[in-house]
Amino acid sequence: MKKQVTIIGSGIVGATIAYYLSADPTLSVTIYDEGIGQATKNSAGIISPWLSKRRNQRWYQLAKAGAALYPEIVADTQMGYSVYQQAGTIVTRSNAADLQALYDLAIERRKVAPQIGEIEKLTAAEVQQRIPLLTNPQPGVFISGGARVDGDKFAHNLLKYAEKRNLVRHKGKVTLGDQGQLMTPHGQQNYDTLILAVGAWLKPMLLPMHIVAKVRPQKGQLIELQLPETWGDDVPVLMPEGERDFIPFTRSKLVVGATHENDQGYDLQVSDLVEDDLFASGYKLDQNLTKAQISQVKVGTRAYTADFAPFFGALPDNPHILMASGLGSSGLTTGPIIGKLLADYVLTGAHDWDQYQLPIETYLEDAD
């Protein structure tokens, strides 16, 4: 009889787990998703962790490994440029000393992260040459390893790939009983391994088991604009100083975002004020933008922990229940590697993930 692995949540973590588990024909894999506020579907798409000022070394190692994994998955599944493209990243600084410091940091980090690729210090005019949309460019540092990904399409493609092998997908909300029983829209289901890839919803998911996951939701909004001009596949992502990120996707889609709104719970309402603010941010960089070009405002819910770090692994008292959460604002970067590490554990029973995170107990406590 095939071993039953059930995954809850089909965001980037759940989809990557399904993709890797689909390599094993002795498994029967099922995924459930309720289809609410998914972060992955509503994300901006920047994969460029190397110049981050975060001091958490475990997170940095994880994010670095995540960025390095993308080209491998993309090549194996033959995803095109509209899904993922390593077009590079430009990070701008108006002050010459800050720009030099950023450049030096990139050179230093490349010694142990060759994925950063080429590093160039660019004048404002050179930045504008690389991103012709800009009418108000600043000088910046270009790194060729930076990438953009359409998280929604990436997860969708992985799920389609896995469906051709051993994955069965269901739509609907699931809940757990106090002993970890799985209640689905089709009644109670058995499993050998259950994986909770539910992002910001881990806390409500575990509460019936009297476990509190120390994760809070954070609302994120971004705007998508459809522009009359088109550009090539190789226009870099812009991470401007003090402004929202500016992400030109292929074929005239521009994303400007995103917000980080605490204390909004799981709210998914589009806010006109925030939309205006996001547009103003984009307009500062490209004065040809008009509000009429906004084709969509996207809203998603990120999962945050107190130390802004993700966590993943098995429940301390139940090795049959695995989980991942707390991916925060860099979850497109860390999601695939977390998915791979969890899938490897299911396939081999071994793991070496302690190098990437604090013990999972850090993020869980007894409800009683």
Ligand X SMILES: Cc1cc2nc3c(=O)[nH]c(=O)nc-3n(C[C@H](O)[C@H](O)[C@H](O)COP(=O)(O)OP(=O)(O)OC[C@H]3O[C@@H](n4cnc5c(N)ncnc54)[C@H](O)[C@@H]3O)c2cc1C
What is the contact surface with ligand X in residues (CB under 6 A)? 8-14, 32-36, 38-40, 42-46, 151, 173-174, 197-201, 205, 220, 222, 257-258, 300, 302, 327-333, 335
Nearer to ligand X, 229 or 257 (CB): 257
| Nearest distance from C-beta of residue 327 to ligand X, angstroms | 4
**At closest approach, how far in Å is the CB of 63 from ligand X?**
8
Q: Please, which residue, 81 or 126, has the CB nearer to ligand X?
A: 81
Which residue type is seen at 75?
A: A
Give, in degrees to the nearest 5, the angle at Cα 303 between 297 and 309: 130
Minimum distance, C-beta of residue 177 to ligand X, in the bound complex (Å): 13
Backbone angles phi, psi at 217, to 5 degrees: -80, 150
142 vs 304, beta carbon nearer ligand X: 304
- Amino acid identity, residue 72? E
- Strand order from edge to edge, sheet including 187-189: 175-176, 182-184, 187-189
Q: Give whichever of 52 and 252 is closer to ligand X, judged by the CB atom.
A: 52
Q: How far is the CB of 42 from ligand X (least distance, A)?
A: 5
Beta carbon nearer to ligand X, 11 or 139: 11
Cα(114)–Cα(102) distance, integer angstroms: 17
Question: Which residue's CB is nearer to ligand X, number 124 or number 271?
Answer: 271
d(CA 258, CA 219): 10
State the CB neighbour count (10 A cutoff) for residue 368. Answer: 6
Q: How far is the CB of 94 from ligand X (least distance, A)?
A: 23
- For ligand X, which residue has the nearest CB? 331
The one-letter amino acid code at 58 reads R
Which residue in 12, 7, 16 sits closest to 341, CA to CA? 16
Q: Which helix (H) or strand (E) holds 317?
A: none
Residue 74 CB, nearest distance to ligand X (Å)? 15
Q: What is the C-alpha radius of gyration for the chain, rounded to an integer number of angstroms?
A: 21
